[in-house]
């Protein structure tokens, strides 16, 4: 039934209400009764031909109206739109675009499956920049087909609001849009309107003389349930040890069996029970290396409950459990270890030391012996040799090299001393220079050096005071101050004549640092002498 009012037309069907606006845009509302899904949901299309838009403008226009460019996911949807949309010579943009060479749906970024692609013949082409998709509406044989176009061209726009909501389907399904409806496409192993129910497999029975442990992520005996089977002691498992409930509702293998006890009838009176427990494989003695293996089986070698112990030679240790037990499945409780030589911690012996090691097998291992020496001028502190013991420890601590020390020097009397100490005060390589004070002569070597033996190259020199020639005064007296000894550097002598005599010359004279008097020696002359100088 169709009603016209002004420039608008109304099309009313039994369960569908279609609203068509012919002026600038076309809006189609399709309302479907979905009472089975708990109410009414709607899938709404909006189209526009004026103004024409670039692809990105069309996508943005749809988003402003809380919608998306239509993705076209089925032939049903294509036919529906072709019947209702008006012909537009520029055709319509749809929500598909090529990104990094892959055709993807607008908004989700998901790849468009090849089976959902509906290209026109000879399309899509590889012309540069033709990365957006248009749909032909009312174009003869090409109706409903796709063509890739330049995204900058202007075309009509088709928007849609999906009926799929976040909680429309369970997490085990994909929500697929349909015209006026949606459906939940279940993932493998799930069923039901919202794909919430995992498909069930038949319950499993325990095998005779065995038991099972199961894990049920989606409920007992349902899809992805797994069961591990075990046999009692003395029995071994025949068949798959682990069963999995498949998406088909069947287990991937039959329930395994536990084999072990057989009955042999000897007569009507006697029965012989035979326990055929699985034997474990033989153990290779040579695999152990530097060690031995001893076993104590209860019946025959390497049968159920046989135990074996690996003993390593001195200085060796097992690289795994050294005790093994044969279980009821015919397997050893652990792999056979090997005896590996014990190692001591690596030794770091830095400069100025030298280390030389002799190793039996590997560096720093049992039996390794290391000798230590120091370079010239250095002395070894602690032992010169270390050995790696059977315990994996060294028999001592690593030594160090300390610089050789010479005795401490004190400056000689009347002298000073200056030292150069490249390795520490008064140590190997130290050089000292002795310098006498003014007025003293150095006796010995003024330069001494500390040797690698901790001895100075020579003894300290001495500083001897300078001496002046002794002086005497006839007919007079000398009064001298001698700080360093008679008539030596610093001595000052004053002359005094006897009564009746006069001093001829300087009253005082001093012994200089050169060993010379500062003035000539005076004389005492009689007063009546004609040689008196005034």
Residue 66: CATH number of its domain: 3.10.100.10
Structure tokens at 439: 């007025």
Q: How confident is the model at residue 8 (pLDDT cuts 50, 70, 90)?
A: very low
Do 452 and 520 belong to one domain?
no
Neighbours of 210 (CB within 10 A): 18
- Give the pair of three-digit tokens for residue 292: 């031995």
Strand order in the sheet with 492-497: 476-481, 492-497, 508-510
263 occurs within a structural domain: no
> 158 and 56: one domain?
yes
Q: Is residue 124 part of a domain?
A: yes
> Do 8 and 145 sit in the same domain of this protein?
yes
CATH of the domain at 319: 2.10.70.10
pLDDT at position 268 over 80? no
Say if pTM beats, i.e. exceeds, 0.75.
Answer: no
Among 162, 179, 205, where does a domain finish?
162
Pair 67, 160: CB distance under 8 Å? yes
pLDDT value of residue 12: 26
Number of other residues whose CB lies within 10 A of the CB of residue 431 = 14
- The answer to whether residue 209 is domain-embedded is no
Do residue 97 and residue 124 come from a single domain? yes
Tell whether 169 is covered by a domain.
Answer: no
Contact predicate 305/298, CB 8 Å: yes
Domain match, 98 and 121 both:
yes
d(CA 299, CA 277): 11
125 shares a domain with 105: yes
Residues 113, 22: one domain? yes
Identify the residue with better confidence: 12 or 291. Answer: 291
Closest CA to 176 of 162, 190, 188, 189: 162
Q: For 297-330, how does the pLDDT look when each residue is reduced to its tens digit (9 = 90+)?
A: 654 567 777 888 899 999 999 998 989 888 877 7
CA distance 503 to 64: 134
Flag whether 183 is in a domain.
no
Residues 370 and 442 in one domain: no
- How sure is the predictor about 39, in pLDDT bands with cuts at 50, 70 and 90? very low
Neighbours of 152 (CB within 10 A): 11
Residue with tokens 């009313």: 12
Number of domains in the chain: 5
Q: Calculate mean pLDDT across residues 460-482.
A: 92
* Within a domain: 271: no
Residue 137 within any structural domain of the chain = yes
Range of the domain at 105: 2-162
Q: Please provide the average confidence, as pLDDT, over all residues in the chain.
A: 82
Whether residue 142 sits in one domain with residue 30: yes
Judged on CB neighbours under 10 Å (0-12, 13-18, 19+), 128 is exposed
User: Of 341, 363, 378, which one is at a domain's C-terminal end?
Assistant: 341
pLDDT at 129: 87
User: Residues 392, 497: one domain?
Assistant: no
CB distance 429 to 504 below 8 Å: no
* 27 plus 144 within the same structural domain: yes
- Any idea what DSSP says for residue 323? E
Strand partners, 375: none
In a domain? residue 218: no
CA distance 235 to 211: 12
Average pLDDT score over residue span 258-273: 47
- Three-state secondary structure readout of 139-176: CHHHCCCEEEECCCCCEEEEEEECCCCCCCCCCCEEEE
Determine what percent of the chain is predicted with pLDDT higher than 90.
49
- Whether residue 28 has pLDDT greater than 60: no
pLDDT at 71: 85
Residue pair 34/136 in contact by the 8 Å Cβ criterion:
no
CA distances from 179 to 44, 167, 339 (A): 9, 19, 74
Based on the fold, state whether residues 394 and 289 are members of the same structural domain.
no
Task: Among 318, 341, 364, give the residue marking a domain's end.
Answer: 341
> Are 384 and 371 within 8 A, CB to CB?
yes
Per residue in 329-375, pLDDT (tens digit) is: 778 889 889 999 999 999 888 888 899 999 888 899 999 999 999 99
Question: Which stretch of 3-12, 97-106, 226-235, 423-432 has the lowest confidence by average pLDDT?
Answer: 3-12
């Amino acid at each position: 039934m169709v009603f016209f009012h002004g420039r608008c037309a109304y099309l009313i069907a039994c369960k569908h209400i279609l609203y068509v606006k012919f002026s600038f845009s076309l809006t189609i509302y399709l309302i479907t009764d979905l009472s089975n899904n708990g109410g009414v949901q709607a899938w709404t299309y909006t189209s526009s031909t004026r103004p024409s838009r670039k692809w990105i403008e069309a996508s943005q226009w749809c988003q402003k109206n809380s919608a998306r460019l239509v993705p076209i996911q089925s032939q049903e949807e294509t036919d529906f739109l072709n019947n209702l949309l008006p012909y537009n010579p520029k055709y319509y943009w749809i929500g598909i675009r090529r990104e990094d060479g892959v055709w993807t749906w607008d908004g989700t970024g998901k790849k468009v499956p090849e089976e959902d692609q509906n290209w026109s013949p000879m399309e899509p082409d590889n012309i540069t920049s033709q990365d957006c998709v248009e749909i032909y509406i009312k174009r003869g044989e090409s109706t409903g087909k796709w063509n890739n176009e330049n995204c900058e061209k202007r075309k009509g726009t088709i928007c849609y609001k999906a009926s799929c909501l976040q909680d429309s389907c369970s997490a085990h399904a994909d929500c697929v849009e349909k015209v006026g409806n949606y459906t939940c496409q279940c993932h493998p192993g799930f069923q039901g309107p919202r794909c919430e129910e995992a498909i069930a497999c038949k319950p499993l029975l325990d095998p005779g003389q065995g038991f099972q442990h199961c894990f049920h992520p989606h409920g007992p005996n349902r899809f992805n349930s797994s069961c591990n089977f075990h046999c009692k002691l003395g029995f071994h498992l025949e068949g798959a040890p682990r069963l999995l409930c498949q998406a088909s509702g069947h287990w991937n293998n039959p329930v395994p069996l536990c084999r072990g006890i057989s009955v042999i009838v000897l007569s009507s009176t006697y029965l012989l029970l035979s326990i055929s427990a699985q034997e474990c494989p033989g153990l290779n003695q040579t695999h152990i290396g530097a060690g031995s293996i001893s076993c104590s089986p209860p019946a025959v070698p390497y049968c159920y409950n046989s135990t074996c112990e690996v003993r390593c030679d001195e200085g060796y240790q097992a690289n795994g459990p050294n005790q093994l037990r044969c279980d009821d499945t015919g397997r050893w409780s652990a792999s056979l270890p090997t005896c590996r030589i014990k190692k001591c911690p690596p030794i770091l012996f830095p400069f100025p030391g030298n280390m030389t090691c002799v190793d039996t097998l590997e560096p720093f291992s049992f039996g390794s012996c290391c000798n230590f020496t120091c370079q010239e001028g250095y002395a070894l502190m602690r032992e010169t040799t270390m050995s790696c013991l059977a315990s994996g420890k060294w028999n001592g601590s690593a030594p160090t090299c300390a610089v050789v020390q010479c005795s401490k020097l004190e400056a000689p009397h009347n002298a000073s001393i200056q030292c150069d100490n490249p390795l520490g005060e008064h140590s190997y390589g130290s050089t000292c220079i002795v310098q006498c004070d003014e007025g003293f002569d150095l006796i010995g070597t003024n330069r001494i050096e500390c040797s690698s033996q901790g001895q100075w190259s020579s003894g300290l020199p001495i500083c001897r005071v300078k001496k002046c020639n002794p002086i005497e005064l006839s007919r007079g007296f000398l009064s001298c101050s001698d700080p360093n000894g008679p008539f030596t550097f610093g001595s000052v002598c004053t002359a005094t004549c006897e009564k009746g005599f006069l001093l001829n010359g300087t009253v005082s004279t001093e012994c200089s640092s050169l060993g010379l008097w500062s003035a000539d020696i005076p004389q005492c002359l009689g007063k009546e002498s004609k040689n008196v100088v005034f």
